[in-house]
Amino acid sequence: MKLEISYHLENFIGGNLIGPLSGKFIDNINPATAEVYGQIPDSGSKDIEAAVHAAQQAFPAWSVTPVEQRFKILNRIAELIDANLDELALAETNDNGKPLWLSKKVDIPRASANFRFFATGIMHFATESHNMEDKAVNYTLRQPIGIVGCISPWNLPLYLFTWKIAPALAAGNCVLAKPSEVTPVTAFLLSKICKEAGLPDGVLNIIHGTGPGAGEAIVSHPAVKAISFTGSTRAGERIASIAAPKFKKLSLELGGKNPAIIFADCDWEKMLFNTIRSSFANQGEICLCGSRILVEESVYEKFKTDFVNWVKNGLKVGDPLDAESKQGAIVSKTHYEKILHCIEMAKKEGGKILCGGNAVKLEGRCANGYFIQPTVIEGLGPNCKTNQEEIFGPVVTLQSFRNEEEALQLANATQYGLAATIWTNDISKANRVAAKVESGIIWVNCWLLRDLRTPFGGLKNSGVGREGGWEALRFFTEAKNVCIEL
Ligand code: NAD
């Protein structure tokens, strides 16, 4: 099967591609060119009602479909994603603005890896049993929940969308899924792949639209029993306020303000290369990017010189279709303006711009696109807005610390707790800091190295619940304990 990229999107409900019942559409804009290049259904509660109906029809058969069969279908979806790598990567880049090489190398391969991982995962998923000596035996029965909602953001569009959908389907649920309205095309193409792979009609329903429109209709529908959400802390709070009083199961993967903690005794070259990546990969639009770089005082000046030099000379901002571009476009005009506003605020707070700080005007095809220079700022204390609020763009701050204790104070001085990176060759120090840093994910001498079996998620205002491996399959099942007296 070869996908034809179409930019006039439709919802995928009950196995059919259909327009929104309201007949309304939203413009889809390519951030690299600022041109409208597609239309997205502006779905609402009636579309969600139709999707719930389709899911209810499909659930009885899908929930008892043998795992070997679910494995085959999910694995086939993975194969079809791989077979359409070029088309999906191009669609993702046009939607999101990220370099095409990055979509090809990371985003799309990871989407098929997600399906493959959970296809095999469900074949090995086991439940516990507890033996009460000669009195009784208990076993845990894990059954699919029913209809679940999966809502994802724009930064890693197909990668994060499939990270939720794959375990939900593998565990035998029927799904209502909504991609971000800012980057919907790969999810639309996935509808066609799922049909081709033989996923029964109504098992996966993909509905397009805004958060307050389609998103809230999914979250508030009484038939949707669990919500897996990735996005901003603000939207997560709103979703929790709707879902929690209805006692729905909730997994919330939210914002971050991640520290990169650099000790003087680290492997300098490796640290520098990876700190460039962790600061600016995907234009800094990865929830796991380190936006607060904390450097031990004795090497602060050396770090500043080496880092700024690399940022100035090694990170070409350019057309996402150009293989030489290291930084593509910011995802939308709104987000571009927000980032520029944050840079202005940093200046008002007394921050010194060491490099970047401005929009980039390209020539040709991308003359009107939303591009920003990678930006490094110093001279700001831990409590200012720039070091407290998530910017989610190519902007990092530098702060220095005197010792381990001060590094931890700075690292933990935000409402967030998603990810942290520690750079040191002292294994004991790495372990001490990892135990005390308030983050759900901690990398020592590496960044973004992911084993899909490990629990993934944040502490504090970065979310609740864990994705990944058995955690995800447990989330998407209801546990019942059966006690049998002997
Ligand atoms: P967002 O919260 O604006 O939107 C995310 C998704 O939620 C979109 O599909 C949107 O339409 C939907 N949505 C928004 N409001 C909603 C509502 N009231 N009800 C239901 N759905 C709603 O986030 P974004 O701007 O798309 O993404 C950027 C944010 O996502 C950043 O804060 C980033 O840190 C976070 N993020 C977190 C992780 C993680 O794993 N923790 C991963 C990626 C991105």
The pLDDT value recorded for residue 7 is 85
pLDDT value, residue 4: 79
Largest CA distance in the chain: 79
As given in the structure block, the two tokens for residue 464 are 């609740």
Q: Are 128 and 177 in contact (CB under 8 A)?
A: no
Domain 11-254+462-485 has CATH 3.40.640.10: no
CATH 3.40.1190.20 fits 258-453, yes or no: no
- Which of 150, 174, 194, 287 is catalytic? The answer is 287
Question: CA–CA separation, 102 vs 99, rounded Å?
Answer: 5
Residue 50: the pLDDT is 98
Q: How far apart are CA 455 and CA 70, in angstroms?
A: 23
Asked whether the beta carbons of 37 and 179 are under 8 A apart, the reply is no
C-alpha to C-alpha distance for 210 and 117, rounded to whole angstroms: 30
253 flagged as catalytic: yes
Three-state secondary-structure class, residue 345: helix
Atom 40 of ligand 1, nearest CA residue: 253
> Is 460 within 8 Å of 416 (Cβ atoms)?
yes
Ligand 1 centroid to residue 234 C-alpha, Å: 8
Terminus-to-terminus CA distance in the chain, angstroms? 55
**Residue 255 CA to ligand 1 centre (angstroms):** 8
Query: By the 8 A CB rule, do 231 and 203 touch?
Result: no
Per-state percent for the chain, helix, strand, coil, to nearest 5: 40, 25, 35
Note down pLDDT in tens along the chain; length 486 residues.
888 777 899 999 999 999 999 999 999 999 999 999 999 999 999 999 999 999 999 999 999 999 999 999 999 999 999 999 999 999 999 999 999 999 999 999 999 999 999 999 999 999 999 999 999 999 999 999 999 999 999 999 999 999 999 999 999 999 999 999 999 999 999 999 999 999 999 999 999 999 999 999 999 999 999 999 999 999 999 999 999 999 999 999 999 999 999 999 999 999 999 999 999 999 999 999 999 999 999 999 999 999 999 999 999 999 999 999 999 999 999 999 999 999 999 999 999 999 999 999 999 999 999 999 999 999 999 999 999 999 999 999 999 999 999 999 999 999 999 999 999 999 999 999 999 999 999 999 999 999 999 999 999 999 999 999 999 999 999 999 999 999
392 pocket-lining for ligand 1 (C-beta < 6 Å): yes
Residue 35, burial from CB neighbour count under 10 angstroms (0-12, 13-18, 19+): middle
Cβ pair 259, 433 in contact under 8 A: no
**Contact of 454 with 469, CB cutoff 8 Å:** yes
Quick check: 171 and 470 in contact, CB under 8 A? Answer: no
Does 230 sit in the ligand 1 pocket, CB within 6 Å?
A: yes
287 is known as an active-site residue: yes
**DSSP one-letter string for 159-213:** HHHHHHHHHHHHTT-EEEEE--TTS-HHHHHHHHHHHHHTPPTTSEEE----III
Q: Which of 48, 155, 233, 242 to mutate to test the pocket of ligand 1 (most atoms within 8 A of CB)?
A: 155
Cβ of 109: how many Cβ atoms within 10 Å? 17
What does the pLDDT read at residue 3?
86
Q: Where are the domains of the chain?
A: 11-254+462-485, 258-453
Amino acid at the residue 3: L
Distance CA 149, CA 52 (A): 10
Is the CB–ligand 1 distance for residue 250 below 6 Å?
no
* Side-chain-side CA neighbours of residue 275 (13 Å): 32
CA of 96 to the centre of ligand 1 (A): 14
* One-letter amino acid of 25: F
Provide DSSP, 317-336. B--TTSTT-SB---S-HHHH
Q: Nearest 5°: phi and psi at 129? A: -135, 145
- CA dist 291 and 462 (Å) reads 15
The residues pairing with 147 across neighbouring beta strands, listed in sequence order, are 174, 224
Quick one: pLDDT at residue 187?
98
What gap in Å lies between CA 159 and CA 172, rounded to an integer? 21
Index of the ligand 1 atom closest to the CA of residue 178: 9
Token readout for 276 is 């460039």
What pLDDT was estimated at residue 1? 82
Give the pLDDT score at 5: 77
The whole-angstrom separation of Cα 226 and Cα 209 is 20
Query: Is residue 351 lining ligand 1, measured as CB closer than 6 Å?
Result: no
